[in-house]
Amino acid sequence: MATPLRIEELRTRAAPLDMTSDQFRSLGHDLVDRIADFLTSVPTHPVTRAESPEQVRAALAANRMLPEEGGDPQALLRDTAALLFEHSLFNGHPRFFGYITSSAAPIGMLADLLASAVNANVGAWKLSPMATEIEAQVIRWLAQFIGYPADCGGLLLSGGNMANLTCFLAARAAQADWDIRRQGVAGGPRLCIYASTETHTWLQKAADLTGLGTEAIHWIDGQPMDLENLQVRYRQDVKEGHRPFLVVGSAGTVSTGAVDPLQDLAEFCQEHKLWFHVDGAYGAFASGLAGAPPELKGLESADSVAVDPHKWLYSPLEAGCALVRNPSTLRNAFSYHPSYYNFDGQGLNYYDIGPQNSRGFRALKVWLALQHAGAVGYRKMIQDDIALARYLYDLAVDHPELEAITHHLSITTLRYVPQELPAGLGLEQTEEYLNELNERLLDAIEKSGDAFVSNAVIAGKYALRFCIVNFRTSTKDIEAMPQLVARLGRQLHAELASSIAKIIESVPEKR
Ligand SMILES: Cc1ncc(COP(=O)(O)O)c(C=O)c1O
């Protein structure tokens, strides 16, 4: 029981976390100044310092105990900014081309601060009236931007994995002709899914998490997905007592940006009454733009689409989005009405149509950035990224030491091929050698700090993968790449080839 004295003290409560408005203002101004300087200086820093976990932990003093006493917020913010600026990988660097992580829109950074200040819980309309309506507007705008029906349902999630999983659950509930939410997968026949082997691993996670198991995914060879293989497999599965319910098409695969024949897949699904889902986490934003593959067009016929504003809308992490043609399918997949909620009957409650209950205000950064650049600005940025990826491909074609492998959307893959390979290598060994050389080259590029790329394995070839979802990348950044790859490639080849030559000499029978 609290003593009367203690209760008396709390009449004017001074909590250790609170700040006066003057203190907040001064700390905020100082932090914004630091961030502005940091953003200006990013291009002059290495993309990453490629430090070891030990080095990063040492900088953090990772082993120190939780402080018993609180500290000075000014020093905390100053030191933390320095810690992050000095020991991070900068995906906002113009030469960051790894994975599908974009440069973050500055207005999105400010939006996150504003969103935290309001701290809306966008789980229920009553708890977040304006934030809920802003999110609903973002959903309509995103649909409009990619050419999907604007009266669709949808919500924002943490990223592509969760957006695709959400659509998967909507499909599962809509397609099972038993009460799968109550009885689980054991309540009916074996459900199965079709997807190309290039589909992102969100699909394995979804099949696993939803109890279907990864064997429920019936992989269809061919990239883009081969429709004939799909038809043959479907007929065989139906004969064997499977219950196909879902076809997943990729609008931009994670490795190369290739697009499945979406219109054909949509027609196949209509014919067989299957749910058609498009993973457009990366590529859907290019739909309808000049220079984008016409196959993207079919996404407007999908039952659901996942799109990630934190990929090609340059939103700061995290922001993914699930869109469904029929809004009630989300409610049918997620709705529960606990007695401890008093939210019914007033506006849209996002907790009712998705996996989260408490939800942050992710929509604000997307909403503000969409208005800052406008649809025209976005189309231009995306088209510029595509043009730069194409330019890199063309430069690789013309370079005597580079092999251009693929270009789709804003992803180009290439590899370093020395003009002279070690004598005595057969075809298979040459490919093995090139794979090893390029794998090492990937690390060498990262360590150089001059660029950051990721990799893709294409028909057995280990390729360097440049993904440009970066509004800071310019022509000169792209023009520097062939030279960087060739220079580091040559160095590595000189080291590797001499050791290989020694091996070949010492084991002549292995030739
Ligand atoms: C096509 C595709 N789908 C899904 C994902 C998963 O997205 P996230 O990492 O945001 O969960 C990615 C990530 O790169 C992707 O490229």
User: Does 11 map to a domain?
Assistant: no
Among 360, 395, 420, the domain boundary falls at 360
CB distance 373 to 471 below 8 Å = no
| pLDDT higher than 90, residue 448 | yes
Of 318, 337, 360, the one marking the end of a domain is: 360
> Where residue 483 sits, what CATH number does that domain have?
3.90.1150.170
pLDDT at 506 over 70: no
**291/180 same-domain check:** yes
Confidence of residue 511 (pLDDT cuts 50, 70, 90): very low
Helices 475-506 and 427-448: angle between axes, nearest 10 degrees: 130
DSSP classification of residue 254: T
Binned at pLDDT 50, 70 and 90, residue 83 comes out as very high
Q: How confident is the model at residue 290 (pLDDT cuts 50, 70, 90)?
A: confident
pLDDT at 124: 98
Residues 312 and 349 in one domain: yes
Query: Cα separation of 431 and 395, whole Å?
Result: 23
161 alpha carbon to ligand 1 midpoint, in Å? 6
**From the alpha carbon of 99, which atom of ligand 1 is closest?**
14
> Which helix (H) or strand (E) segment is 191 a member of?
strand 191-196
Assigned domain for 336 exists: yes
Same domain, 213 and 131: yes
Percent of the chain with pLDDT over 70: 96
**Where are the strands (E) in 264-330, listed by range?**
275-279, 304-307, 320-324
Q: What is the pLDDT, as a whole number, of residue 510?
A: 43
| CATH number of the domain to which 203 belongs | 3.40.640.10
* Assigned domain for 2 exists: no
Residue 356 within any structural domain of the chain: yes
* Distance of CA 295 from the midpoint of ligand 1 (Å): 20
State pLDDT tens for residues 120-179: 999 999 999 999 999 999 999 999 999 999 999 999 999 999 999 999 999 999 999 999
- The three-class DSSP label of residue 119 is coil
Q: How far is the CA of 200 from the centre of ligand 1 (A)?
A: 7
Q: Which domain holds residue 274?
A: 120-360
Answer yes or no: do 293 and 425 share one domain. no
Residue 25 lies in a domain: no
Q: Are residues 100 and 138 in the same domain?
A: no
Residue 292 and residue 387 share a domain: no
Q: Which sign does the torsion angle of CA 186, 188, 194, 200 carry? A: negative
Same domain, residue pair 332 and 195: yes
Total of domains in the chain? 2
Query: Quick check: 490 and 484 in contact, CB under 8 A?
Result: no
- Same domain, yes or no, for 166 and 231? yes
Residues 347 and 392 placed together within one structural domain of the fold: no
Mean predicted confidence (pLDDT) in 422-450: 90
pLDDT digits (tens, 9 = 90+) for 271-281: 999 999 999 99
Q: Report how far residue 165's alpha carbon sits from residue 158's, in angstroms, rounded to the nearest whole number.
A: 11
The pLDDT tens digits of the residues spanning 101-112 come to: 999 999 999 999
CA 253 to ligand 1 centroid distance, Å: 9
Q: Are 173 and 329 in contact (CB under 8 A)?
A: yes
Residues 196 and 83 in one domain: no
Same domain, yes or no: 305 and 402? no
Ligand 1 atom with minimal separation from the 310 CA: 10
Q: Work out the mean pLDDT of the chain and round it to a whole number.
A: 95
Quick: pLDDT tens for 30-78.
999 999 999 999 999 999 999 999 999 999 999 999 999 999 999 999 9
Is the model's pLDDT at 2 over the cut of 80?
Answer: no
DSSP H or E segment with residue 154: strand 153-157
Q: Give the pLDDT score at 505.
A: 64
pLDDT in tens, 400-410: 999 999 999 99
For residue 156, tell me if it sits in a domain. yes
For the chain, first and last CA: distance in Å? 85
Determine how many CB atoms are found less than 10 A away from the CB of residue 18: 9
Give ligand 1 pocket residues (Cβ under 6 A). 100, 159-161, 164, 200, 202, 250, 252, 254, 279, 281-282, 308, 320
Q: Same structural domain for residues 313 and 416? A: no
Mutate to test the pocket of ligand 1, among 164, 198, 204, 254 (most ligand atoms within 8 A of CB): 254
Model confidence pLDDT, tens digit, residues 186-225: 999 999 999 999 999 999 999 999 999 999 999 998 778 9
Question: Is residue 7 assigned to a domain?
Answer: no
Boundary of a domain, candidates 360, 395, 418: 360
Asked whether residue 493 is domain-assigned, the answer is yes
Q: What ligand 1 atom has the least distance to the C-alpha of 159?
A: 10
Percent above pLDDT 90 for the chain:
90
